[in-house]
Copies of this chain bind each other. A is one copy, B any other.
Amino acid sequence: MYHLMIKTSFAAAHNLINYQGDCENLHGHNWRIEVTVAAKELDKAGLGIDFKILKKQTNQLLDEFDHKYLNDLEPFKKASPSSENISRYLFERLSKSLNNDNITVECVNVWESENACASYTRD
């Protein structure tokens, strides 16, 4: 089985809801995003999926978050904009746009700092 992974990032403000502590205050992060897809087979150029497509689809999606206040956005009107929920949202959106007979989104890692990462993974 082949896997392809790309790294990218976005910067945004957020604050956790239903939380007591520093993270309930308005703050922000440079989130680093890692998207991993599985590919069953390679095309005649030897690619599972062109990294360019993977980066483009991911960055188009992240444009919705970049330099925004996440709590104001539709996906986080009802769900606390934690790294866990960001990860799940990106996973579900990318699965819709990327999954096909050959490609399956496996995992989205959301690093909120150099030392802390939340992931949503296809079981």
Contacts and interface: CB of A to CB of B under 8 A. Distances in A.
Contacts of A119: 2-5
A66 to B, nearest CB: 16
A118 B2 contact: yes
A11 interface: no
Nearest to A118: B4
A2 B45 contact: no
Interface in A98-123: 112, 114-121, 123
Given A45-B16, A82-B45, A118 B6 contact: no
A98 B55 CA distance: 34
Contact of A46 (B21, B47, B82, B116): B82
A85 B121 CA distance: 25
A120 B84 contact: no
Interface string A39-53: 100111111101110
A120 B21 CA distance: 33
A35 B100 CA distance: 29
A44 B39 CA distance: 35
Contacts of A2: 84, 87-88, 118-121
